[in-house]
Structures are given as structure tokens and as C-alpha cells.
Structure 1
Amino acid sequence: MRYATPTRSAHRATPAGGLALLVRPPGPIGQHRYHAGVRTRPQRHARRDPTKTAHLLTRGLAGLIVLGICVMLGVLIVADERRGSLAAADTGPLTAADVFPAGSAAFQVKRTDLSADCTVAATGTLRPTLQRYGCSQAIRAALAVPYADFRITAGVLSLSDTTGAVAVADLLRSLVESGDGGFAGMAGEETGAGAPVGWRTRGHYLMYCVITGPGGELVPGDDPRVQRITQDLLDTHFGGSVLAHRAG
């Protein structure tokens, strides 16, 4: 008896040699199961929102600007208060006692002079120069120091403003070097050419000192004692003590 041989698509050989019918289950073929009505979503990586980042940066920048404005206002307020205090301290003219107080350990005061005519302290072309820049006060003194037998004339001149004081100081070097002008002694005498002369400015004040020997003779400008006198008088005493709270 003959039997019909199933086609290749109808059966598959099993390891035991039998036949295994291929039965197609209902639904789609594959190893994964799909549930009706359930839709899977692809995974997405978290991304930063550029709008939010820009907003944070803008807020930070605005905060820095506000902080900078506050700091600037504070500095301006402090500077204004300081200018006010300096102006208040510089309302009145200087006195001889202000510039040359008694009992100083740095020098001995032999004689003082205070004049509204600044030309008494100058010689040559410096006299009209002081008038041109509104010099209104000359406070001078003859001084002595314990470590040198020198004749010292020192003083403070009050100009109309800082610009005038600086202008006179700039002209002084050429006047002194050429002998066309300089500072006079207490008796109005001219100091010899080449005598050590020092000067500084502080605010609208011009400070100076002239040093000669005991008889008016020249003193070498490189003498260490000359340098010490100039520094002690102009920088420490006049600039640091007398005018520190007056020169606005």
C-alpha cells in the first residue's frame, strides 16, 4: 500500500526519526511577544535645556553688575567724606607754631617769620613767579640741628592750588641751576650758587630748605648730613606731620 509522502514544508525530521508537524500558532511569528494595546517608547538621553542655562548665566551676570555698582558707590562715598574732612582741616591759614612747633627733637628753632608777601622768601625770577601763581603765605624759620654746624633756612609756601605749586616746583630746578632765582635767607640775603637746596610739593604747598655753612660758605651737596636734614625736614616733618591732614 502506498502512502502519500508529506512535503518538506509539512513536516520536519526529529532526532528520533519521527515526524514533527509544524503547527503555526496564532499571531505573529518570532521570539518576542507583543501585547495588544501596549506601545513601547524608545529611550532618550537627558539633555540640558539651553534656555534654562542662558537664564542662569544672565541672572549671575546681573548679580555681578549690581555688586560692582555697590562697591563703586561705597568707594565714592568714602572718597567724598575724606575730601570733605581734608577741606575742613585746610580752611584756615598756617601759623608759625603749626609749621615749627617748640620742643622738636629733630631741630632747634632760632627764629621764625610769617608773611603774606611770599617774595621775602625768594630771590631773582622766583619772586614774580610766586606772585603769578598766587602765593599767599610764607612761613619760614632759621634752624639748627644737633649733629651739624650748618645754617639752615626752611619754610612752607602756600600757593593758590596744587597746579600752581607743581608749576613752581618744575621751574625751580632751572632757576637754581642757572642762578636766576632761588630761596633767600632769613635776612633776605641770597644764598651762594651751588648751595644745597631741596624742595617738595604737597597739595597746594611748596616746602623748601637751604643749607650753608655757619658763615654762609658752601656745603657739599653730597654730604650725608645734608641729605639727612633734607629728608627729616621736607619728608618727615613738613610732609608727614605738618601737612598730612591739610594738603587736599
Structure 2
Amino acid sequence: MLVGGAAALVLLALCGLTAATLMDGRTLIGQQAGPSAAPDTTRDTVPAEASDLDSRDTDQAPLTAREVFPASTLAVGDGENGYEVLRTQSSASCAVAATGEVSDLLVRLGCNQVVRATLRAPDGDHLVTTGLFNLTDRSSAERARDRIRQLLDERQGRFRGMSAGDDTEVIATAPARVGWQVRGHYIAYAVVARTDGATIRSGDTVVREILFDMLEQHLNQGVLERRAEGGTASQPTEGPTDDTGSQDESTED
């Protein structure tokens, strides 16, 4: 009986060791499976975190005038009065929307499309031509942005305002305030002029509001945000970077 009891204790001990080994094995297998699954999840989520608006490779669908300016009146923010859309244009030639070295710069950096419109501001005293340049990638858009101010200051080119018929020629010829900003591979820009052709002071708050309405409220938070969320691109980019300046009367060739 003592021998039998000892044998039983040995057997129980062995069984206990085996059970412990199996339990440790299941734990080990679970721990090994966790890390092996984690990289798969990481591989799936990393591309989603990158900005699909950063390149035409991941944002291939061309812009359309209907996408950028979908109605005859453009309501911006909480404003009760909208901007009247007078004329829209989509062109594969970026040179139609700029002159001189500004035009050459955009083409050299891969701009293959511009979609723009001329609108009358709610106050009736200002006109604005605004739109999007479609460049190759974010890097090229940022390079253009950084060079544009210098070219404007040196009068080596300008953004073109687009006439929309009677009483709007001033947008193409008068001194203007301009603004531009980058989001992804796009440059959003706006040219603002007074309907009476008068020079605009740099601190004009009305013009600053118009530039903000067009660049930030409409083109960035409206058009490009919709494209990032539901278009060919699936993720928004980082916040846009912007700039403003002035340009003198048109000296187009």
C-alpha cells in the first residue's frame, strides 16, 4: 500500500506537471499569436493614417466645376447672404489662371488642371476669382507656395482674375489682394478686387473675410474635406498652410 500510495503520488505529480505544461503552452501560444496578429493590423491601419490627398497617385479623379462650385449661389459658413457665382471654368492649362513666372512655376511643378470661378461678394462691392490648382503631389504644391510670394513681390507674374461679362472686367485688370494655401497636392487661391477698381489696403477686414471665406471655409473645409472623406481620397490631410499678398494692375501680354 505504501508503494502503491507513493506511485499514486508520483503519478499525480506527473499529471500535475503535464497539466501545468499544457496550461503554460496555451498561454505561450496565445502570447505568440497576439504579436503575430498585431503587425497585420498595423499594416492595415498605417496607410489609412497617411494623407491620400498628398498625391495624384492616390487622388486620381480630376476636379470638376460642378464639384468645386455646385450651385449658382455659394453659401459660406453661417452667412445669411451667399456669394453669387457668375462664371465657372475648368481647364487642363494652368496658364489660363496665372501669368509670367507664376504660370511657368505651376506648369514646371506638374500642374495639370485648374478649376476656378468668379463670384460677386454679398456686399456687392467686391469681386473674387477663386479656385484650385491640381499639382503632382504635396511637395510640389509646397514648393510653389513658397516661391509665389517672391514672384508677386518682384512683379514676375500674377494670378489672373477672370472676367464674367459686363461690369466684371475689373477683376482682371485692377489692383487686387490675393491669398493662397496648400492642402495635399492642391493650391487654393483667391483674387479679390473692388468693383470700383480702387486699391485695397493691406489691412482691409472685408477683403480678409472674403479670402477666409473662399480659401478656408469653402475650398478647404468644404470642397477638399468632402473629397478627402468620400471621394477618391479617403483621409483628410493636416491643416492647410496659407499666405496672402497683393498684385498690381494686370500687365498681361
Give the TM-score range, shorter chain: 0.5 to 0.7
CA distance in 2, matches of 1:166, 1:99: 21
Q: Is the 8 A contact 1:109 1:141 kept in 2?
A: yes
CA contact (8 A) 1:157 1:206 kept: yes
Specify the alignment match of 1:7 in structure 2: none
Work out the CA distance in 2 between the residues paired with 1:144 and 1:75.
49
RMSD: 3.2
**Structure number, greater radius of gyration:** 1
Where in structure 2 are the equivalents of 1:87-236 lying within 5 Å? 90-102=59-71, 103-106=73-76, 107-147=83-123, 149-187=125-163, 189=172, 191-192=174-175, 195-236=176-217
Question: Given that residues 140 and 155 in structure 1 are in contact (C-alpha distance below 8 angstroms), is that contact kept between their aligned partners in structure 2?
Answer: yes
How far did residue 81 of structure 1 move?
A: 4.1
The whole-number CA distance in structure 2 between the counterparts of 1:210 and 1:118 is 15
CA contact (8 A) 1:123 1:182 kept: yes
- Partner amino acid for 2:194? G
How far apart are 1:118 and its partner, in Å?
A: 0.5
Q: Which residue of 1 aligns with 2:251?
A: none
Q: 1:77 aligned to 2:61?
A: no
1:117-153 per-residue CA deviation (whole Å, 9 max, x = no partner) reads: 1001001211111110111111111111213510211
Taking the aligned partners of 1:183 and 1:206, their CA distance within structure 2 comes to 12
Q: Structure 1, unaligned stretches of length 5 or more?
A: 1-58
* Structure 2 equivalent of residue 26 of structure 1: none
Q: How big is the shift at 1:71?
A: 6.1
**TM-score scaled by length of structure 2:** 0.63
Amino acid at match of 1:228: E
Give the CA deviation at 1:74. Answer: 3.7
Structure 1 residue 216, shift from structure 2 partner: 2.9
**Equivalent in the alignment of 1:19:** none
Q: Counterpart of 2:17?
A: none
- Could you report, residue by residue, the CA deviation over 1:3-25 in whole angstroms, capped at 9, with x for unpaired residues? xxxxxxxxxxxxxxxxxxxxxxx
Q: How many angstroms does 1:246 deviate by?
A: 3.5
Q: Relative CO higher for 1 or 2, CA cutoff 8 Å, sep ≥ 6?
A: 2
Deviations 1:61-93 (A, max 9, x none): xx7x99788667545422324669768983311
Question: How many residues align structurally?
Answer: 187
Instruction: Evaluate the alpha carbon distance shift between residue 72 and residue 117 of structure 1 in structure 2; reply closer, same or farther with a 3 A threshold.
Output: same
Deviations 1:200-228 (A, max 9, x none): 01111110001111033321221111111
Closer, same or farther in 2 for the Cα pair 1:152/1:67, shift >3 Å? same
Q: List gaps (5 residues or longer) in structure 2.
A: 1-26, 77-82, 164-170, 234-253
Tell me the distance in 2 between the aligned counterparts of 1:129 and 1:223: 29
Conserved 8 A contact 1:159-1:205:
yes
